[in-house]
Structure 1
Amino acid sequence: MESWTQRIFLTLSGGSLLALLSLPALAADDNKPLIEPDVRPQHVDEALIDTENFELGAFAGVLNIEDFGSSFVWGGRLGYNLSESFFMEANIGFAEGGETSFETLAGNVQLLSDDDREYTYYNVNFGYRVLPGEAFIGESYAFNTNFYLVAGAGSTDFAGDNRFTWNVGMGYQILLTDSLALNFSAREHMYQIDVLGEDKTAFNTELSTGLSVFF
């Protein structure tokens, strides 16, 4: 009788012990999600502007020379990044003034010689990137961008004189890679001129696009 009773007690005790040992495993199984997500981290390589980098570029576009029509303009740019937000740039541009409306109506009257119609400007500007952002092409490509403002001063050789010139403008830059950028720019060049007999401030609007490399 005692051996039978002991056998029942040992059986019940062993079952209780196994049940207690299996509780943590069941609790752990309850915390596992029914579906294991297959997530693999992807490396993203962003094109960024490095601080204290130089930028060398070329541009082309249209320059409206007040009283002398619109002209093709082209030139070069050298920039220096002071920080992620601030930069300086030096620009040189070339264009050619056309005939004024007075010259067109008068026939053989020429206010300027061909050499005096050559238009060359130089300036140094200070710039500020106000709206960094991103541009998307489809679902596969994203590029960092910058909307910026610039202002500065320089000189313009036109109509037989060298004229002190202010300029202000804005631009939009798309970073294609860490070393290559696409630029769209709008500038206003302002100087005093009296070729038509009246001293006035000329406003010359420039729209251009170009490429630049960082080094």
Structure 2
Amino acid sequence: MENRTQHIFLKGAFMAGLAIVSTAAFAQEDERPLIEPDVQPEPVDEALIDTENFEIGVFSGIMNIEDFESSFLWGGKLTYHLSERFFFEANVGFAEGGETSFEKLAGNVQVLSDEDREYTYYNVNLGINILPGEAFLTENYAFNTNFYLIGGAGATDFAGDTRYTANAGAGYQVLLTDSIAIQLVVREHLYRIDVLGEEKLSMNTEVSAGLSVFF
């Protein structure tokens, strides 16, 4: 009788232990979500500027020469990056002045000779990147971008004279690869001129696009 009682007791204890283990296992399974999300992060490939600090480029666009029409502009630049935020830039640009309103109305009258209509500027500027960002071509490929402000001083050869010139503007740069970038620039060139009478401040607007290489 005693053995039978022990057997019943041990069997009950075994069943109770099994129930506890099953409950614990069920509780662990309950912690898992009912639906396993099948989400795999996609790597984003983005261009990063190489460690080189120098940048050389070419550009073309339109130069609005005050009183002398708008003209095709082309030129080149050399940039030295002091840091990710600041850079120095040297530019040279070439254009050609058109006819004034007076010349168009007067017929054969010429205010400037063909040689004096050649327009050349060169300057040295300080730039600051104020709004770095990204532009996505696809969901898996991103271009680094920079919106920057730039300004400086130099000279303009036009109308038979060399004139001190200040300039200021803004640009938007897109880095296509680790070493190649494109940019769009809008800049104002200011100098004093007296070709058409009383001396005045001439404001000449440049809109250009360019391609540059880091090295």
Runs of at least 5 residues in structure 2 that lack an aligned partner in the other structure: none
SS, match of residue 8 in structure 2? helix
Report what 1:55 is aligned to. 55
SS, match of residue 116 in structure 1? coil
CA contact (8 A) 1:50 1:84 kept: no
CA contact (8 A) 1:55 1:212 kept: yes
Counterparts of 1:114-193 in structure 2, within 5 Å, are: 114-137=114-137, 139=139, 141-193=141-193
The alpha carbon displacement at 1:72 in A equals 0.3
Q: Which amino acid aligns with 2:75?
A: G
Q: Which amino acid aligns with 2:160?
A: G
Report what 2:74 is aligned to. 74
The 1-side partners of 2:77 and 2:112 are apart by: 29
Q: Which amino acid aligns with 2:65?
A: I
CA contact (8 A) 1:135 1:142 kept: yes
CA contact (8 A) 1:78 1:91 kept: yes
Q: Which amino acid aligns with 2:175?
A: L
TM superposition outliers: structure 1 runs of 4+ over 4 Å: 137-141
The alpha carbon displacement at 1:45 in A equals 2.3
Q: TM-score, normalised by structure 2?
A: 0.92
CA change 1:51–1:167 in 2 (3 A) is farther
The alpha carbon displacement at 1:52 in A equals 5.6
Report what 2:204 is aligned to. 204
Q: TM-score, normalised by structure 1?
A: 0.92
The 1-side partners of 2:161 and 2:79 are apart by: 27
Report what 1:110 is aligned to. 110
The alpha carbon displacement at 1:26 in A equals 2.3
Task: Let me know the Cα RMSD of the aligned residues.
Answer: 1.8
The 1-side partners of 2:52 and 2:81 are apart by: 5
The 1-side partners of 2:153 and 2:90 are apart by: 10
The alpha carbon displacement at 1:27 in A equals 2.3
The 1-side partners of 2:205 and 2:120 are apart by: 14
